[in-house]
Amino acid sequence: MNAVITAIGGFVPSSILTNKKISETVDTSDEWIVKRTGIKERRIADDNTATSDLAAAAVENLLENYKVDREEIEALLVATATPDHILAPTASIVCEKSGLVNAFGIDMNAACSGFLYALEMGANMIESGRYSKLIIVGADKMSSIVDYEDRNTCILFGDGAGAVLLEKTESGNGLMKTILKTDGSGVSSLAVPAGGSRTPISMQSLLHRTHYLKQDGAFVFKKAVSSMSQVSQDALAKNELQADEIDWVIPHQANLRIINAVGESLNIDAEKVKVNIERYGNTTSATVPLCLWDFKNDFKEGQNLLITTFGAGFSWGATCLKWGVMRDEKTAKISKNTTEKSVVMAH
């Protein structure tokens, strides 16, 4: 029994933060940002929108576009590094907002690798035979923890959410063997120092702005390239696949130079590597599902996809999956409210 993706949803806020706008507040330029990161713009949620709202919009996009009975969903796994609250879990809020009355919800935080970790956990739940329909969400409101006075980090991140329906199948399609890695020695190189039990929020943390994300960019860059490249090679070997058997690569969208370096290390044509970082920036837990959402029409049954990620923790990993048969799409016209929330993608 395998776990296969059968439906996809996504959501990004309508507000666009361009490189030009950022250059008005910190010492940078559009040319510099594009050259160093590949990012041209990112989506930013307003003050009244929390991570649960992004996640619920992605789930609703999935449920309204595919023939899925929300009452049959047994579990909701929400990967996020920016929960609405320390307590209660964001997944509980999303279950309520999305009408998932028969699902239990749980948050998972592996930073930029969160969606891949949650996908693996969900696949194991299905392969155990105990569950048959799960929704896996990657969602983050990174603008809530980014210091817009720090040009090293504020240029990188955006907000968004993606969701997939994971179901059991007895076909050969679905998630293959996955490799997940963790190296806690890298925690200080990419973290939000204050706000947890180690260093609660205080006047001192506010003064020193340690409640915002801090990053050693050069070190993280090198570690990301080496880790994603190696774990991708290992995942291919574990699944007895050659690089030329991979139809599409779905990498974490952290930096275009990282993405290109990983693709070159695998000797995989750039045309096979899916990239949308120029429009969204780094949406952390949401990058992989947003890529799947953006390019879902390119994926055909039986094609091999390679997913690879790297994030704070350090957390990283890779998996291969054989694309399956998507659920039938609804023919009914989507409500005006949902249409206004959704983003029409132009490729």
Which neighbouring-strand residues pair with 106?
77
Q: For residue 87, count CB atoms less than 10 angstroms from its CB and return exposed for 0-12, middle for 13-18, buried for 19 or more.
A: exposed
Cα dist from 307 to 102, 224, 318, whole Å: 30, 14, 5
The active-site residue, picked from 61, 276, 282, 304, is 282
- Residue 239 to residues 127, 254, 272, 289, Cα–Cα distance (Å): 17, 25, 19, 22
Are residues 178 and 317 in contact, defined by beta-carbon separation less than 8 angstroms? yes
Quote the Cα angle for 108-275-115, to 5°: 10
User: Which of 198, 196, 194 has the alpha carbon at shortest distance from 211?
Assistant: 194
Name the nearest CA neighbour of 228 among 149, 344, 130, 314: 314
Nearest Cα neighbor of 70 from 61, 79, 78 is 61
Question: Which residue of the set 95, 173, 252, 304 is catalytic?
Answer: 252
Q: Out of 61, 65, 112, 304, which one is annotated catalytic? A: 112
Q: Is residue 29 a contact partner of residue 200, using CB atoms and an 8 Å limit? A: no
Per the annotation, the verdict on 95 as an active-site residue is no
- The CA distance from 85 to 92, in Å, is 11
What is the spatial distance between Cα 257 and Cα 238, in angstroms, rounded to a whole number? 26
In this structure, how many other beta carbons lie within 10 angstroms of the beta carbon of residue 337?
9
Please indicate whether residue 252 is annotated as part of the active site: yes
> What is the crossing angle of helices 51-65 and 90-98, to 10°?
40
Per-residue DSSP letter, 328: P
Burial of 73 (0-12, 13-18, 19+ CB in 10 A): buried
Residues annotated as catalytic are 112, 252, 282
